[in-house]
Amino acid sequence: MPRSTEIRTKSVTSRPRRTLLKAGGTLLISVITALPARAAQIMAVRVWPAEDYTRVTLENDTDLKASHFIVKDPERLVVDIEGLELNPTLKQLVAKIQSNDPYIKQVRVGQNRPNVVRLVFDLKEEVNPQVFTLAPIGGYKHRLIFDLYPVNPPDPIAALIQKGEWSRDKDTDSKPPLAEARPEPKPAAPEPQANAKLDLKDEKALVLTRMITIALDPGHGGEDPGAVGRGGSREKDVVLSIAKRLKAKIEEQPNMRVMLTRDADYFVPLHVRVQKARKVQADLFVSIHADAWVEPTARGSSVFVLSEKGASSTAARWLANKENAADLIGGVNIKGHDRQLASVLLDLSTTAQISDSLKLGSAVLNEIGGINRLHKRAVEQAGFAVLKAPDIPSILIETAFISNLEEEAKLTDDAYQNQMADAVLKGIRKYFAKNPPLAKNRLT
């Protein structure tokens, strides 16, 4: 066969093949584009009811986009979540809402339209919702958060008034208790100097016997479990139990009252813990934790105060960084309006506050040393964000190493928790014996 004929034949036979391949490729592309995008998978649902606010968490395998709006009469929060198909895990949310939830009556879950799930929260009162997402961190994947804050938030001072531990007439920023009961000075000539000295002495006596307010801060909570022991004990549970025992013991004192920054299993941002203490004009701030370390042999109790000049040890710096990461793990809406306020507040620490905190820390550390081995025999310092109240002596107590099996057993033991509470109370009493409280004069 001539060469030219052979070439023509190959050319003719290859043309249908190219056409077929092109058609097949077009068919393949059309099939691929017709396939729907894979819906996100809800992996867990959690609800954290508290008097401060109720949090609902949806943990999922990808970032979700949500929109929300409020419906009136009756009050409802409607949330539409895109890229989601209803699955059994998400349906579990209905049963997670308990009858004692302060703000949610019930929730309804349904497929609003293809690829969009709608949640309808029937509310018990008007709320200010915050809806935001959190990137994966620690053991968590992507999280979609609904924080339902009451329009009329609870007042910690009102709670103390209700318990009979606060009087608006007797507790003021500038006067000691019972000052109003004293006779008003007469516009007559000045009294003799001896009487003036007597008045000053009486005034000092009134100041020294005024009611002392102590803020107890159980670390972590809610989405943030804190450290977890090898036996499964969670720091957030242990420290809340110790704080409640300490609260009961302090309330037995004739001139002391207590405010807990959290009284249940929910998350409180670091700067909000400080704000709560300042709102009740606390005289002391005591944050309670249970330490963890990479080596399971680490053991002992510690007390920390704030440092303006850097940490007193590498371990103290590491611990402060870990504790300061609580907001990332627990979940703070960084787009919220409180961000600037928090930044300003946490930069107002003073030398006087640190000096008083060291005195308090030493008194407490000495008492704790009587019931447990001390990890360090001196009070340590580091940049703990939760200790930065500018006008309140503040300490952070690491009650023991929950990462140590022996100490984990102590931390979950009723007797040890009571001993720890007794030791802290003794330390606080000894601090005030040497540093009696003066008339309150808080920064605004």
Sheet holding 284-291, edge to edge: 256-260, 212-218, 284-291, 394-401, 302-306, 380-382
Distance CA 280, CA 186 (A): 33
Ordered alpha helix ranges (H), 284-350: 314-324, 326-330, 339-345
């309804």: which residue's tokens?
Answer: 108
| pLDDT on residue 56 | 97
Beta bridge partners of residue 131, listed in sequence order = 146
Q: Which tokens hold the place of 342?
A: 């928090």
Measured at the CA of 405, the angle between CA 315 and CA 261, to 5 degrees, comes to: 65
Mean pLDDT of 209-223: 92
Distance CA 191, CA 186 (A): 10
- Model's pTM, two decimal places? 0.78
**Residue 18 C-alpha from the chain's centroid:** 66
User: Of the given ranges (141-145, 152-156, 420-424), which has the lowest mean pLDDT?
Assistant: 152-156
Confirm if 65 and 83 have CB atoms less than 8 A apart.
yes
- Please give the residue that has the higher pLDDT: either 427 or 211: 427
- The backbone torsions φ and ψ at residue 127, rounded to the nearest 5 degrees and listed phi first, read -130, 160
- Please give the residue that has the higher pLDDT: either 176 or 24: 24
User: Of the given ranges (190-199, 284-293, 297-306, 417-426), which has the lowest mean pLDDT?
Assistant: 190-199
Q: Where in the chain is the domain with CATH 2.60.40.3500?
A: 42-150
CATH class of the 211-434 domain in this structure: alpha beta
Which pLDDT band holds residue 388 (cuts at 50, 70, 90)?
A: confident
Confirm if 378 and 359 have CB atoms less than 8 A apart.
no
Which pLDDT band holds residue 65 (cuts at 50, 70, 90)?
A: very high
Does the pLDDT value for residue 26 go beyond 90?
A: no
- Please give the residue that has the higher pLDDT: either 59 or 16: 59
Mean pLDDT of 285-306: 91
Distance CA 331, CA 359 (A): 33
Distance CA 397, CA 323 (A): 12
User: Of the given ranges (79-88, 159-168, 229-238), which has the lowest mean pLDDT?
Assistant: 159-168
- Please give the residue that has the higher pLDDT: either 438 or 119: 119
Return the closest-CA partner of residue 92 out of 142, 130, 131, 42.
Answer: 42
DSSP class of 363: H
Distance CA 177, CA 228 (A): 44
Q: Where in the chain is the domain with CATH 3.40.630.40?
A: 211-434
DSSP class of 46: E
User: Of the given ranges (21-35, 116-130, 188-202), which has the lowest mean pLDDT?
Assistant: 188-202
* CATH 3.30.2020.30 for domain 42-150: no
Which pLDDT band holds residue 164 (cuts at 50, 70, 90)?
A: low
Which pLDDT band holds residue 97 (cuts at 50, 70, 90)?
A: very high
Return the closest-CA partner of residue 396 out of 162, 239, 196, 280.
Answer: 239
Percentage of residues of the chain with pLDDT beyond 70: 75
Confirm if 222 and 266 have CB atoms less than 8 A apart.
yes
